[in-house]
Amino acid sequence: MKIVGAALVLACSFMGREAAATLFNVELIDNDGPLILGQVDTVSDTFTITAWTENPLGTVWWSAADLPRTYLALDAAGASFDVPDGWDGTIGTDWAFINPETLGEAGWINGLFSSLTLIRDGWGGGVDGSGVIDTSFAENVWSNLPFGSNSAAPNGFNSVSVTAVPEPAAFVTLGVGLVLVGLMRRRSAG
Protein backbone atom coordinates (compact mmCIF):
# COMPACT_ATOMS: atom_id res chain seq x y z
CA MET A 1 0.00 0.00 0.00
CA LYS A 2 2.81 2.44 0.84
CA ILE A 3 4.54 1.74 -2.51
CA VAL A 4 1.30 2.34 -4.43
CA GLY A 5 0.70 5.54 -2.45
CA ALA A 6 4.24 6.79 -3.10
CA ALA A 7 3.91 5.98 -6.80
CA LEU A 8 0.58 7.83 -6.90
CA VAL A 9 2.09 10.92 -5.28
CA LEU A 10 5.01 10.83 -7.72
CA ALA A 11 2.76 10.37 -10.77
CA CYS A 12 0.36 13.11 -9.68
CA SER A 13 3.22 15.54 -9.04
CA PHE A 14 4.14 15.34 -12.75
CA MET A 15 0.61 15.57 -14.13
CA GLY A 16 0.11 19.32 -13.72
CA ARG A 17 3.67 20.20 -14.63
CA GLU A 18 4.67 21.08 -18.18
CA ALA A 19 7.46 18.81 -19.35
CA ALA A 20 10.54 20.20 -21.08
CA ALA A 21 9.37 20.36 -24.70
CA THR A 22 11.75 19.42 -27.45
CA LEU A 23 9.32 19.56 -30.39
CA PHE A 24 7.17 22.46 -31.54
CA ASN A 25 4.61 22.53 -34.34
CA VAL A 26 4.94 25.67 -36.45
CA GLU A 27 2.44 27.39 -38.76
CA LEU A 28 3.56 30.45 -40.74
CA ILE A 29 0.86 32.27 -42.71
CA ASP A 30 1.16 35.11 -45.21
CA ASN A 31 -2.36 35.98 -46.36
CA ASP A 32 -1.13 36.82 -49.87
CA GLY A 33 1.83 34.44 -49.91
CA PRO A 34 2.97 31.12 -48.48
CA LEU A 35 1.51 28.88 -45.81
CA ILE A 36 4.40 26.96 -44.25
CA LEU A 37 3.93 24.10 -41.79
CA GLY A 38 6.69 22.29 -39.96
CA GLN A 39 8.29 21.29 -36.72
CA VAL A 40 11.14 22.72 -34.64
CA ASP A 41 13.28 20.18 -32.79
CA THR A 42 15.22 21.74 -29.91
CA VAL A 43 17.43 18.67 -29.55
CA SER A 44 18.78 18.79 -33.12
CA ASP A 45 18.25 22.59 -33.37
CA THR A 46 16.42 22.28 -36.68
CA PHE A 47 13.22 23.39 -38.37
CA THR A 48 11.79 20.78 -40.74
CA ILE A 49 9.17 21.98 -43.21
CA THR A 50 6.52 19.39 -44.00
CA ALA A 51 4.11 21.48 -46.11
CA TRP A 52 4.51 24.66 -48.16
CA THR A 53 1.65 26.00 -50.24
CA GLU A 54 0.67 29.32 -51.72
CA ASN A 55 -2.45 30.89 -50.22
CA PRO A 56 -5.28 31.56 -52.71
CA LEU A 57 -4.46 35.27 -53.02
CA GLY A 58 -0.75 34.63 -53.44
CA THR A 59 0.88 34.66 -56.85
CA VAL A 60 4.31 36.18 -56.33
CA TRP A 61 6.36 33.85 -54.10
CA TRP A 62 7.76 30.47 -55.08
CA SER A 63 6.97 27.30 -53.11
CA ALA A 64 9.40 24.59 -52.02
CA ALA A 65 9.22 21.33 -54.00
CA ASP A 66 11.68 19.17 -52.05
CA LEU A 67 9.80 18.46 -48.83
CA PRO A 68 10.47 17.69 -46.12
CA ARG A 69 13.18 20.34 -46.04
CA THR A 70 15.31 20.93 -42.94
CA TYR A 71 16.76 24.28 -41.89
CA LEU A 72 19.57 24.67 -39.33
CA ALA A 73 19.52 27.05 -36.36
CA LEU A 74 22.62 29.20 -36.91
CA ASP A 75 23.99 32.30 -35.24
CA ALA A 76 25.37 35.32 -37.11
CA ALA A 77 28.85 33.72 -37.25
CA GLY A 78 27.51 30.50 -38.80
CA ALA A 79 27.83 28.37 -35.66
CA SER A 80 25.03 26.11 -34.50
CA PHE A 81 22.55 27.92 -32.25
CA ASP A 82 21.07 26.03 -29.28
CA VAL A 83 17.30 26.53 -29.48
CA PRO A 84 16.08 26.44 -25.85
CA ASP A 85 13.87 23.50 -24.81
CA GLY A 86 11.36 26.03 -23.50
CA TRP A 87 11.40 28.02 -26.77
CA ASP A 88 8.48 30.44 -27.12
CA GLY A 89 8.59 30.86 -30.91
CA THR A 90 10.70 34.02 -30.85
CA ILE A 91 13.65 34.31 -33.21
CA GLY A 92 16.01 37.05 -32.09
CA THR A 93 18.30 39.07 -34.31
CA ASP A 94 21.26 36.93 -33.25
CA TRP A 95 20.14 33.64 -34.94
CA ALA A 96 17.84 32.15 -37.60
CA PHE A 97 16.78 28.88 -39.21
CA ILE A 98 18.80 28.83 -42.46
CA ASN A 99 18.63 26.45 -45.41
CA PRO A 100 21.91 24.53 -45.84
CA GLU A 101 21.33 24.66 -49.64
CA THR A 102 21.54 27.69 -51.89
CA LEU A 103 18.42 28.81 -53.73
CA GLY A 104 19.83 27.18 -56.88
CA GLU A 105 20.36 23.83 -55.13
CA ALA A 106 16.97 23.80 -53.41
CA GLY A 107 13.93 22.53 -55.32
CA TRP A 108 11.14 24.96 -56.24
CA ILE A 109 7.74 24.15 -57.74
CA ASN A 110 7.82 27.32 -59.85
CA GLY A 111 11.15 26.75 -61.57
CA LEU A 112 14.91 26.69 -61.16
CA PHE A 113 16.65 29.53 -59.39
CA SER A 114 19.43 30.08 -61.89
CA SER A 115 21.40 32.94 -60.36
CA LEU A 116 24.86 31.61 -59.49
CA THR A 117 25.13 33.11 -56.01
CA LEU A 118 25.46 31.84 -52.47
CA ILE A 119 21.95 33.07 -51.51
CA ARG A 120 20.19 30.82 -49.00
CA ASP A 121 16.70 31.37 -47.64
CA GLY A 122 15.62 31.09 -44.05
CA TRP A 123 13.17 31.85 -41.29
CA GLY A 124 14.42 34.91 -39.40
CA GLY A 125 17.49 35.31 -41.60
CA GLY A 126 19.43 33.96 -44.53
CA VAL A 127 22.65 34.19 -46.50
CA ASP A 128 23.31 36.90 -49.09
CA GLY A 129 24.89 36.49 -52.53
CA SER A 130 28.39 36.87 -51.07
CA GLY A 131 27.87 34.14 -48.45
CA VAL A 132 27.36 36.52 -45.51
CA ILE A 133 24.84 35.38 -42.89
CA ASP A 134 22.15 37.95 -42.04
CA THR A 135 20.18 37.26 -38.85
CA SER A 136 18.66 40.74 -38.58
CA PHE A 137 15.09 39.55 -39.16
CA ALA A 138 12.67 38.11 -36.59
CA GLU A 139 10.17 35.24 -36.57
CA ASN A 140 7.69 37.12 -38.75
CA VAL A 141 10.02 37.26 -41.80
CA TRP A 142 11.20 34.66 -44.31
CA SER A 143 14.43 35.90 -45.87
CA ASN A 144 15.45 35.49 -49.52
CA LEU A 145 12.25 33.93 -50.81
CA PRO A 146 12.40 33.52 -54.60
CA PHE A 147 9.86 35.17 -56.89
CA GLY A 148 11.76 34.66 -60.15
CA SER A 149 14.71 32.73 -61.55
CA ASN A 150 17.10 35.52 -60.48
CA SER A 151 15.07 37.40 -57.86
CA ALA A 152 14.54 36.92 -54.13
CA ALA A 153 13.32 39.15 -51.31
CA PRO A 154 12.15 38.98 -47.69
CA ASN A 155 8.53 37.98 -47.10
CA GLY A 156 6.52 38.90 -44.00
CA PHE A 157 4.01 36.68 -42.23
CA ASN A 158 0.62 37.83 -40.95
CA SER A 159 0.52 35.00 -38.42
CA VAL A 160 3.17 32.91 -36.67
CA SER A 161 1.86 30.07 -34.51
CA VAL A 162 4.10 27.82 -32.41
CA THR A 163 2.70 25.09 -30.14
CA ALA A 164 4.57 22.55 -28.03
CA VAL A 165 4.11 18.90 -28.97
CA PRO A 166 3.22 16.97 -25.80
CA GLU A 167 6.05 14.76 -24.63
CA PRO A 168 5.17 11.04 -24.76
CA ALA A 169 6.48 10.60 -21.20
CA ALA A 170 3.78 12.99 -19.97
CA PHE A 171 1.11 10.69 -21.41
CA VAL A 172 2.75 7.65 -19.80
CA THR A 173 2.87 9.43 -16.45
CA LEU A 174 -0.77 10.42 -16.77
CA GLY A 175 -1.71 6.83 -17.64
CA VAL A 176 0.22 5.42 -14.68
CA GLY A 177 -1.43 7.96 -12.40
CA LEU A 178 -4.90 7.02 -13.62
CA VAL A 179 -4.21 3.30 -13.18
CA LEU A 180 -2.93 3.88 -9.66
CA VAL A 181 -5.99 5.96 -8.77
CA GLY A 182 -8.17 3.13 -10.08
CA LEU A 183 -6.24 0.59 -7.98
CA MET A 184 -6.55 2.78 -4.89
CA ARG A 185 -10.32 3.11 -5.36
CA ARG A 186 -10.68 -0.59 -6.00
CA ARG A 187 -8.72 -1.46 -2.83
CA SER A 188 -10.67 0.94 -0.66
CA ALA A 189 -14.00 -0.38 -2.04
CA GLY A 190 -13.03 -4.02 -1.42
The total number of structural domains that make up the chain? 2
| Shared-domain flag, residues 134 and 174 | no
| Shared-domain flag, residues 85 and 115 | yes
Percentage with pLDDT > 70 across the chain:
75
The overall pTM is greater than 0.75 = yes
DSSP state for residue 137 in the 8-state scheme: -
With CA atoms as reference, report the closest residue to 121 among 154, 143, 138.
143
| Shared-domain flag, residues 135 and 161 | yes
| Shared-domain flag, residues 100 and 10 | no
**pLDDT tens digits, one per residue of 91-140:** 999 999 999 999 999 999 999 999 878 999 999 999 999 999 999 999 99
Q: For residue 38, give every residue at least 6 positions away whose Cβ sits within 8 Å of its Cβ, in sequence order, or none.
A: 25, 26, 47, 48, 49, 50, 51, 68
Rounded to the nearest integer, the mean pLDDT of the chain is: 84
| Shared-domain flag, residues 56 and 126 | yes
- Looking at residue 18, what is its pLDDT? 44
| Shared-domain flag, residues 15 and 89 | no
